[in-house]
A and B are shown apart, each in its own frame.
Chain A
Amino acid sequence: MEELFHHLASAVSQATGYIYPNEAELHWGLLVVVYPYLTGLVAGAFILASLEKVFRVKEVEPTYRLAMLTALAFLIIAPLPLQAHLGHPERSFEIFLTPHLKSAMAMFGFVYLWYLMLVLLLEIWFEYRADMVRWSNESHGLKKWMYWVLSLGSRDLSEQSLAFDRKAVHVITLVGIPSAFLLHGYVGFIFGSIKANPWWSSVLMPIVFLFSAIVSGIALVLLLYYVTTMLRKKALDMACLDKLASFLLYALLIDLTLETLDFVHRLYESEESIEILSELIFSRLFISLTIVQLLLGTLGPILLLSFGRFAGMANEFRRTIYFVAALLVQVGIFSTRWNVVIGGQLFSKSLRGLTVYKLQLFGMEGLFVAIALLVLPFLVLWALIKILPPWDEAESR
């Protein structure tokens, strides 16, 4: 506890203006930044995957299964940062047993389970069922049993059953799109519905969260498709990459428009909080908001992608540009989450002062745990890819 007191004393010594005495401690740290970042990737990857199934965008077909597995891998890890940040992690099951229905946070368990069980797992199962039956037939020993269990004992490879699989995937995707919107829109609502906090309290928050989620999800799948194809020493499907880049560009433009609308709206309304928020933007958040989120993470990729899409460059150059743009987008979206979560706690609710966030390296809320939680989904994804190869069998042999 002594350590905490030192930490708080040093935070208070760096605060400017007046903050309420209880505001010395900044309550939602790096882990709560990681959480919406992860769920955003889930929702974004799923929405990209559904483009192929529902809107029949044939070009992005090579990324469909990869996107679904990515969504699953990130969704499995998404609750961990929340769990780790609780004062009493051992009591977290109370959210499921005795949820307080008026709390936006209490809905987490239900939205999460709905999305995991009824959307992702079901869709992936139908998508892979025929393959799993085939793999079970072709393999021997433990592998045979694993696929048999995963296919839930299904043996049917008739044309009729395959048609049913396709239909099921289609229907689940139709349910899945609003569910993905719900998953991340709901995370935005957790922040947007806090009237005590003028930085968070905005009806646009769930929508901004949603579009930034789509941006980050598309960019992540683009990166993963690029890297996995390179690692497998296969040729990149440029038509697919071009399509991904286009969607990424459109999503970025919508995201930027919404953020700008939010900004202009706040400025024009000029409520009581505008002065402290301006101070916040120009001092504490200048680097993470203006430089990283806006210039590096949004305007930079928009320029790069427009250039890549419309300047008629050679394939090698074009795909490098897409790759760099998608990387920058990831940095930008992480920064976006940071600016919402941490930014919203850097000013006093007395609207008279600013405080600081002192990042710790070690401990449950520290930098290393956060990095581990960001790496973990990729390990899960690696395992999923090993079990359920997302690429064409003939091609991978």
Chain B
Amino acid sequence: MAPVEQRRGFLARLMALPWVAFLVSTLGADRLFAGGGQSASEGGERKFAMGVQVDRCIGCGLCVDACKTENDVLREPFFFRTWVERYQLGSDGEAHVDSPRGGINGFPATEDSPDVMRSFFVPKLCNQCDKPPCVQVCPVGATYKTPDGVILVDHEYCIGCRYCIQACPYGARYLDPRTKTADKCTFCYHRIKQDLLPACVEVCPTQARIFGELGTRSSPLHRMKRMNSIQVLKPELNTSPKVLYSNLDGEVR
């Protein structure tokens, strides 16, 4: 036998020993260098994702309000599972961004000014990354990826170290002062598992938010992807977000 085959044979025999297999899987050593747990495509049969059509958002803030109601998010303007940002691009190339109270009450009107070249709204939420940095850093595994690709937090297990909040590039996480654990958007997991839409999608009056499954031709997401150019936030960080934006301006971070 060639040396390589010998080694493979040895490894196979080693793994066949129940206690070795147990150790390797318990310690998670086999997945140490993977992207972040299971990949969405290999887990369950469904891969939930959201589409945001930037051109359609009117900044009404209904989604922010619905989210807070549905998920019992604190009303104070420092805790958001989803929020809306307004971008005003000046003719000098400067972008002015604001999100008063997360956009929950809409946005104050601005005077028409020749200095503002273009303005638009961008809804934000947890990107449910396929390679989630938050899951990677959690010291106890309290934040994890479900087989259908949604990132959840186990509030009975989270120790409140806030490392995941530091690791999230999108500012999507906060510490709920009531439970003293990390919290964030779940795609309304309790709803989508019953084939209901997330609250923010349900209430959106312009269908700026679309919910569906990746890789399913009948999903409304499929149509959005077919008809528009698609972007994700901070692609350079290689987090593989599952919140897809259409016609997103380069200024948006």
Contact = CB atoms under 8 A, between A and B. Distances in A.
A105 B137 contact: yes
Given A87-B175, A91-B159, A105 B237 contact: no
Interface stretch (A58-66, A224-232, A248-256, A346-354): A346-354
Contacts of A106: 139-140
Interface in A1-45: 1, 4-5, 8-9, 12, 18-25, 27-28
Interface string B58-93: 000000000000000000111110010100000000
21 contacts: A1-B177, A8-B78, A12-B78, A20-B171, A21-B99, A21-B101, A22-B165, A22-B172, A23-B171, A24-B77, A25-B78, A27-B162, A85-B161, A86-B159, A87-B175, A87-B180, A91-B158, A98-B140, A103-B141, A106-B140, A351-B253
A21 B166 contact: no
B193 interface: no
B185 to A, nearest CB: 11
A368 B139 CA distance: 28
B157 interface: yes
Interface string A74-99: 00000000100111110110110011
The 5 A-B pairs of least Cβ separation, nearest first, read: A87-B160, A20-B171, A87-B180, A196-B169, A100-B141
Nearest to A345: B166
A195 B180 contact: no
A102 B30 CA distance: 11
Nearest to B77: A21
Interface of B: 27-29, 31-32, 36, 76-80, 83, 85, 95, 97-99, 101-102, 124, 133, 136-141, 157-163, 165-175, 177-181, 237, 253
Contacts of B140: 91, 94-95, 98-100, 103, 106
Contacts of B171: 19-23, 348-350
Contact of B170 (A87, A104, A105, A349): A349
B160 A21 contact: no
Nearest to A351: B253
A4 B158 contact: no
Given A5-B78, A27-B175, A95-B140, 13 more contacts: A20-B99, A21-B99, A25-B78, A28-B162, A88-B159, A88-B181, A91-B157, A102-B137, A103-B140, A194-B133, A194-B167, A348-B171, A349-B253
A87 B178 CA distance: 10
Contacts, number: 143
Interface of A: 1, 4-5, 8-9, 12, 18-25, 27-28, 82, 85-89, 91-92, 94-95, 98-106, 108, 190, 194-197, 345, 348-352
Nearest to B172: A22
A22 B99 contact: no
Contacts of A19: 171
B159 A24 contact: no
Contacts of B27: 101
Given A25-B78, A349-B171, A95 B98 contact: no
Contacts of B181: 87-88
A18 B98 contact: yes
Nearest to B144: A100
Given A21-B77, A22-B171, A25-B174, A102 B133 contact: no
B237 A195 contact: yes
A291 to B, nearest CB: 27
A196 B159 contact: no
Nearest to B140: A94
Given A22-B78, A88-B181, A103 B159 contact: no
Nearest to A109: B139
A197 B165 CA distance: 11
B158 A27 contact: no
Nearest to B86: A18
